Structure 1
Amino acid sequence: MARCTYMLAALLAASSVPAFGAITVVGSSSARMCFEAADSPMSPTARDMAYCDEAFQGESLSLHDTVATHVNRGILRLRRNQVEPAIADFDSAMRLDPDQPEAYLNKGAALIRMERNPDEALQLFTIAIDRQTRRPAVAHFGRAIANETLGNVRAAYNDYRRASELSPDWRDPRVELQRFRVVSN
């Protein structure tokens, strides 16, 4: 499991992937400020978290903005190592909009981070890919970690390779691919 933690740390820290899948909110509202914090590579502050909470308390949000704010707050919570509350936000987003791929992507990342339930994480990453996440390279990388944890070496290799193809400037998938040796029969 230590290897999975390292790979997820690489996933979280990758400079070309500042946020897993923040969802855009337009305007100048607290929900917008919450999005900007989630989309930023900077560590989230208590004020950033407060923007998300204020959006739920003081604003009349559309369904899209409500779902987006749950995902964005979940990203901030995950980055602050508040994994259980982050998962609760992703679950809320999925209940409100079962077709929102970024909620599945981020919940999968949270489960991998907790080193629990790689089967569910694998399913969540697959759903994110199927529903056309805006971060397919991240979804493939996360699914590769889940596959490798489950002993699905060929599937892990294929997902690392796909992540590398989708994001050629992202170093981490290429590094992981170097550990594999392809043998033809």
Structure 2
Amino acid sequence: MISRKLLLAALLGAVAVPAGASVLVIGNSSARACYEAADSGLAPDVSDLRTCDEALRNEALAAHDVVATHVNRGILRLRRNQVDLAMADFDSAIRLDPRQPEAYLNKGAVYIRMENPTAALPLFTAALERNTSRPELAHYGRAIANETLGNTRAAYDDYRRASELRPEWQEPRVELRRFRVVEQP
């Protein structure tokens, strides 16, 4: 189980494709630069985080952009393995806008990284209910959480859905190969 947990955390926290759970910010600003760093999938450096900090501290941002910047900074912090700080950013985003799906998706990834599938499971569901831009990631994360918790059928269904949503993504298909579907009489 640990390898799949780490795989999801790496996908959500370190790689742009398929993990583009950042939140778009329009315009030319530090908040936009923070978004671009989070969306790039590259390993962030300290200046990327400073850009996000600058946006939150010194720019007159619309409420949506404040929430987006918290999500995007959280993604960068997660990539730098600053798990507690990433969690704080996702919590801030959820507190400011409980409808923000990417905050739930990324917070679920933090809980997977912390090996807490019980806490992760409802967060992935919340991301789906709020129409995350990356439903395949939410299904994949939920599959990992379900499988870890012993919910084999639910895990299979979520791996299958992740694969349907993004057919070119190999990981869900690889996971599905481990399952054997048996018809019940």
**TM-score normalised by length of structure 1:** 0.94
Q: CA deviation at 1:24?
A: 0.5
Instruction: Name the structure 1 match of 2:169.
Output: 170
Decide whether the 8 Å contact of 1:164 with 1:170 is kept in 2. Answer: yes
Q: Which amino acid aligns with 1:184?
A: E
Q: What do the CA deviations read for 1:141-172 (whole angstroms, capped 9, x no partner)?
A: 00000001110000000000000000001100
- Cα distance in 1, alignment partners of residues 115 and 162 from structure 2: 21
Q: CA deviation at 1:56?
A: 1.0
- Which stretches of structure 1, 4 residues or longer, exceed 4 Å deviation after superposition? none
Instruction: Name the structure 2 match of 1:83.
Output: 83
Q: Which amino acid aligns with 2:171?
A: D
Q: Percent identity?
A: 65
- Cα distance in 2, alignment partners of residues 15 and 176 from structure 1: 21
- Cα distance in 2, alignment partners of residues 68 and 149 from structure 1: 30
Instruction: Name the structure 2 match of 1:119.
Output: 118
Q: Which amino acid aligns with 1:34?
A: C
Q: CA deviation at 1:119?
A: 1.6
Instruction: Name the structure 1 match of 2:53.
Output: 53
Instruction: Name the structure 2 match of 1:73.
Output: 73
Instruction: Name the structure 1 match of 2:40.
Output: 40
Decide whether the 8 Å contact of 2:6 with 2:113 is kept in 1. Answer: no
Q: Which amino acid aligns with 1:37?
A: A
Q: CA deviation at 1:15?
A: 6.2
Instruction: Name the structure 2 match of 1:105.
Output: 105
SS of corresponding position for 1:141: helix
Q: Which amino acid aligns with 2:38?
A: A
Decide whether the 8 Å contact of 1:71 with 1:103 is kept in 2. Answer: yes
Q: Which amino acid aligns with 2:168?
A: D
Alignment partner of 1:134 is 2:133: yes
Q: CA deviation at 1:45?
A: 1.1
Instruction: Name the structure 2 match of 1:93.
Output: 93
The runs of 5 or more residues in structure 2 that have no matched partner are none
Q: What do the CA deviations read for 1:34-53 (whole angstroms, capped 9, x no partner)?
A: 00000002111111111100
Q: What do the CA deviations read for 1:4-32 (whole angstroms, capped 9, x no partner)?
A: 4343256346663143x100001110000
Decide whether the 8 Å contact of 1:137 with 1:167 is kept in 2. Answer: yes
- Cα distance in 1, alignment partners of residues 11 and 144 from structure 2: 10
SS of corresponding position for 1:86: helix
Decide whether the 8 Å contact of 2:16 with 2:42 is kept in 1. Answer: no
Decide whether the 8 Å contact of 1:10 with 1:172 is kept in 2. Answer: no
Decide whether the 8 Å contact of 2:11 with 2:19 is kept in 1. Answer: no
Decide whether the 8 Å contact of 1:4 with 1:115 is kept in 2. Answer: no
- Cα distance in 2, alignment partners of residues 105 and 9 from structure 1: 11
**TM-score normalised by length of structure 2:** 0.94
The runs of 5 or more residues in structure 1 that have no matched partner are none
Q: What do the CA deviations read for 1:29-80 (whole angstroms, capped 9, x no partner)?
A: 0000000000002111111111100001110111000000000000000111
- Cα distance in 2, alignment partners of residues 129 and 5 from structure 1: 19
- Cα distance in 1, alignment partners of residues 59 and 42 from structure 2: 25
Q: Which amino acid aligns with 1:16?
A: V
